Amino acid sequence: MTMSNRASSSSARANALPRYREIYASLREKIVSGEWPAGHRLPSEHELARTFGCARMTISKALGTLADQRLVTRRRRAGTTVNMPRPQESVLEIHDIEAEIVAAGVSYAYESLARQIRRANGSDANTLGVASATPVLALTGLHLAGGRPHALEERLINLQAVPEARSERFHGISPGRWLLQRIPWTEAEHQIGALNADAAVARWLAIRPHTACLTIERNTWRDAQRITHVRLIYPCDQHRLVARFRYRPL
């Protein structure tokens, strides 16, 4: 009996959307058009299943998609309600600098400026979030695009988490890429800010002192363990971050 239910809806049109996507689109339209305003309660899954003539699980998937997109909130017994003033949440894609530069059709190079292995001092411990005296690798380097300074990088690596880094010289390869290839990370946090370049930064980046720069700080974890902390400094005229809110499944 259950056979060919799908066939009957899909064989008609070859490239049809899955049923749950059709249902999702249909419900979403009612929400974004304003027909169902914020706070409106949607019919229950059982009722929608009857309405659309499908199994409840299909409805559940459609409603789950809406919930993933924060268009609705679902609670047991309370039902599914429209979530109007939606959180301003964007997906920020922070690419590997090398990939970014190469994608722009420009040659890339990494130049190491300083390298030191030390036991974490108070500042290191605080920045990297490890105990004092933990062995760390401190790196400073320059990302070059087309031979010109693109970004200044200051990095700390937790040698307890990444002992292989102790013997790596990072000639030709940037520490970021090196880590990415070896160390799976599970969580990352970015902080974005602005600063006026001081004399040293300005010299390395070949910009005038006091020029506004965009800074990106990234902390990386593998589960509970801190892997690395990096601060990247970009001259304001050379870099912008783009974040786009996207629906999850589309």
Partner DNA sequence: AAGTGGTCTAGACCACAAA
Partner DNA sequence: TTGTGGTCTAGACCACTTG
User: Pick from 27, 28, 36, 54: which binds DNA (CB under 7 A)?
Assistant: 54
Within 10 Å of residue 29's Cβ, how many Cβ atoms? 11
Half-sphere exposure in the Cβ direction for 48 (13 Å, CA)? 22
CB 72 within 8 A of CB 80: yes
Annotate 201-230 with b (16+ C-beta within 10 A) or e (fewer): bbebbebeeeeebbbbbbbbbeeeebbbbb
CB 25 within 8 A of CB 52: no
Q: How far is the CB of 20 from DNA (least distance, A)?
A: 3
> Is 185 a binder of its own copies (CB under 8 A)?
yes
Q: How far is the CB of 1 from its own copies (least distance, A)?
A: 16
> Is 2 a binder of DNA (CB under 7 A)?
yes
> Is 226 a binder of DNA (CB under 7 A)?
no
User: Pick from 188, 200, 203, 206: which binds its own copies (CB under 8 A)?
Assistant: 188
User: Pick from 33, 37, 76, 171: which binds DNA (CB under 7 A)?
Assistant: 76
User: Pick from 47, 164, 189, 198: which binds its own copies (CB under 8 A)?
Assistant: 189
Q: How far is the CB of 181 from DNA (least distance, A)?
A: 24
Within 10 Å of residue 92's Cβ, how many Cβ atoms? 12
Name the segment binding its own copies (CB under 8 A); options: 47-55, 83-91, 126-134, 154-162: 83-91
Q: What tokens does 191 get?
A: 């902080």
Interface residues for its own copies in 86-125 (CB under 8 A)? 86-96
DSSP reduced 3-state for 66:
helix
* Cα–Cα dist 228/179, whole Å: 9
Q: Which is nearer to its own copies, 47 or 187 (CB)?
A: 187
> Is 211 a binder of DNA (CB under 7 A)?
no
Q: What tokens does 244 get?
A: 């786009």
x/- binding map, residues 121-160, to its own copies, per CB under 8 A?
----------------------------------------
Sign of torsion over alpha carbons 223, 225, 227, 229: positive
Chain positions contacting DNA, by CB under 7 A: 1-7, 10-11, 14-15, 18-21, 42, 44-46, 53-58, 60-61, 63-64, 67, 74-80
